[in-house]
Amino acid sequence: MNSHSLQTSIEFLKGVGPNRAQLLASELGIHCYQDLLHLFPNRYIDRTRFYKISEIQGSNAEIQIVGQITHIKTVSQKKGSRLVATFKDETGHMELVWFRGQKWIRENLKLTQPYVIFGRVNKFDNRFSMPHPEMELLSEYKTRIRKGMQPIYPSTEKLVNRGITNRVIIKLMEELFRQFQGQFDESLSDKIMSEANLIDKNKALINIHFPTNQELLTSSRYRLKFEELFYIQLQLVRKNLLHKTQIKGHNFAEIGTYLNTFFKEYLPFELTGAQKKVLKEIRHDLGSGAQMNRLLQGDVGSGKTIVAFMSMLIALDNGYQACLMAPTEILSVQHYQGLYNWCKSLNISIYLLTGSTKNSIRREIHQKLENGEIQLLVGTHALIEDKVKFKNLGLAVIDEQHRFGVAQRSRLWHKNTTPPHVLVMTATPIPRTLAMSVYGNLDLSVIDELPPGRKDIRTVHRTDASRLKVFRFLKEEIAKGRQVYVVYPLIQESEAMDYKDLMDGYESMVREFPLPNYQISIVHGQMKPADKDFEMSRFVKGETQIMVATTVIEVGVNVPNASVMVVESAERFGLSQLHQLRGRVGRGAEQSYCILMTGHKLTREAQTRLETMVRTNDGFEIAEVDLKLRGPGDVMGTQQSGVLALRIADLVQDEPILKLARSMAFQVLREDPGLKKVQNLPIRKTYQELSKFRNIWNYIS
């Protein structure tokens, strides 16, 4: 049966029709036969065993029994009545009870005929009863596909209310299998199936929906998870390889004066081993003749910026321009200030372009970019406006890229006939499984060691009871000339309450740290931008010792003299947020501290988050724990929702399968890039179908 007929609208499956089709589409995203086939059960009820009435123990287990109805009566009760039937087998008898639909049941029940009944058993007055059992004549039961484990499918309240129960979905699934009679095209090559030890597609599909035993169910799940991850990786890896073979990049053969001079005379510290390794990977890409597309991950403070700057110098050495794009104005200004002095020493013309750049300066920048006078441009989204034209952009560095959409990135590429090399940087550690899946078409570099002299930040968890001790500690640190952040949560829904918490906190800080000995800055979302900047700059200059703030300071503020981060109501923050906040301190040579304040009552999940923060400073380990706690959707955040809409695989639990699938996708495409070999025809056919009906960007929502 070919895959085209799997694209038939679900409306035409016997038992569906236009109304049900609309419901299935809106509630479960089922539009065609294939979508139904890929609606995999959440769990299964084991119906392989038949019980005798004499074996029933206690109550509340779901069991099935074969027997017959000998007697039916209506019993009146306080409200209305109930229907009670006596059900017996050769070992004893019990009662079946109905509170609803009595008339229909009474008319349709057949006495003294063998039935298979299934349901939960209750014990009352030493008698067993089963309310609203599922019932089926034994003769019908014997003709059905499912015999063993009953699938329980994902559902919604609306579906159940409109009569599309689990039982209805099972019936539709049986109808689908009856039509196709197990003739589903194999989608993997024999070689992959034997190497990965997979069962065939038909066996896997029938046993995921109607498993005959647990063992077959396990191998079916494995096979279908592998296939799903394999095709996602095949698309990403293929993009990556095509990119390298077909998209020509500028060939930066020269390592010239700019880089050498910087390296010999202005490098502020010895590069770490990790930085050297990453630079080597980047240099290799830039000289390969193909366009670089690399993701650079490194924790806050690991020295990504200097690696990016040295990469830009290679572009400049080869006579090209470079740009650095950051998501916020604060961050882009900071990058500009950080690079300005080096550029000045090396006699490089660097400019800053943001939303608030004055028009006269804008016009000057536009003109100088086009005639090549500007070598390095730093800025925000303003860089991708149509008016901004480069003479010859050779390298684009994008910081915290998840805040930019795919479309925005591609606009940078189209600034030239030959697209620039692209280096994407992020301080948000992305767990390896997600990086492999969501950024699988980018090459990955990781800076996994901190520069020498950086001390690990000491993190402690304290409750409100030890607040006075914490205040004492802050006073000691301030006496040494250090500065302190105190951060309050800001959760949009309860802004009024958060604002009150922040103001109460601010007032208690003012009482505890009075003028003239102490100066306190405050920054929150309700302030005008100019006031925020004024308060921030006072803190940056060291005119205030304490900064009380909501999370606006999360990204990119660099105050080397700040050594303590106090997070209030820390249980209300996510792990990655806590880690980002902690990264605001520890930027100087002094020992820094992060103090997580909470109440006494904590959920188990909050407890895990706090214990993880106290235990480790490693962003990748934190990201892995975060992924396990929250699932992939939340970790990536909605704005870049690069999260995979997976049908059966799970990125957290199935990392080994993902790695295997990725390495096999590489192997197949290395040996046969066009998927033209006979053995790979099933893969080629499935790949084409997928690209036609559902490509990788449908998975990545």
pLDDT tens column, 676-686: 999 999 999 99
The predicted structure's pLDDT at residue 100: 84
Cα separation, 521 vs 516, in Å, equals 14
Beta strand 520-523 pairing with 546-549: parallel
The predicted structure's pLDDT at residue 39: 94
- What is the mean predicted confidence (pLDDT) over 382-408? 79
Cα separation, 535 vs 546, in Å, equals 11
Q: Which of the four pLDDT bands, split at 50, 70 and 90, describes residue 628?
A: confident
- pTM (2 decimals)? 0.68
pLDDT at 641 over 50: no
Cα separation, 44 vs 211, in Å, equals 9
Share of the chain above pLDDT 70, in %: 91
- What is the mean predicted confidence (pLDDT) over 205-222? 92
Domain with residues 48-145, CATH architecture:
Beta Barrel (2.40)
Cα dist from 669 to 503, 564, 660, 683, whole Å: 60, 51, 14, 11
Q: What is the pLDDT of residues 149-163, one digit of tens each?
A: 889 999 988 998 899
Higher pLDDT, 329 or 296: 296
pLDDT at 387 over 90: no
Q: Which of the four pLDDT bands, split at 50, 70 and 90, describes residue 467?
A: very high
pLDDT at 699 over 60: no
Instruction: Tell me which fold the domain 257-286+303-426 belongs to.
Output: Rossmann fold (3.40.50)
Q: What is the pLDDT of residues 248-278, one digit of tens each?
A: 888 998 888 999 999 999 988 889 999 999 9
**Torsion sign over Cα 330, 335, 338, 340:** negative
Q: What b/e string do you get for 465-492 counting C-beta neighbours within 10 Å, with b at 16 or more?
A: eeeeebeebbeebbeeebbbbbbbbbee
Q: Which of the four pLDDT bands, split at 50, 70 and 90, describes residue 546?
A: very high
User: Which helix (H) or strand (E) segment is 413 a member of?
Assistant: helix 406-413
The predicted structure's pLDDT at residue 111: 92
Q: What is the pLDDT of residues 506-522, one digit of tens each?
A: 999 999 999 899 999 98
- What is the mean predicted confidence (pLDDT) over 19-23? 95
Q: Compute the mean pLDDT over every residue in the chain, rounded to the nearest whole number.
A: 87
Contact 303, 449 (CB under 8 A): no
Kindly indicate whether the domain formed by 458-616 is annotated with CATH number 3.30.70.260: no
Q: What is the pLDDT of residues 574-617, one digit of tens each?
A: 888 898 889 888 877 789 999 999 988 899 999 999 999 999 98
187-201, 407-421, 442-456: the lowest-pLDDT one? 407-421
Q: Three-state SS for 591?
A: coil
The torsion angles phi and psi of 502, rounded to 5 degrees, stand at -65, -45
Q: What HEC string does 197-217 produce? A: CCCCHHHHHHHHHCCCCHHHH
pLDDT at 567 over 90: yes
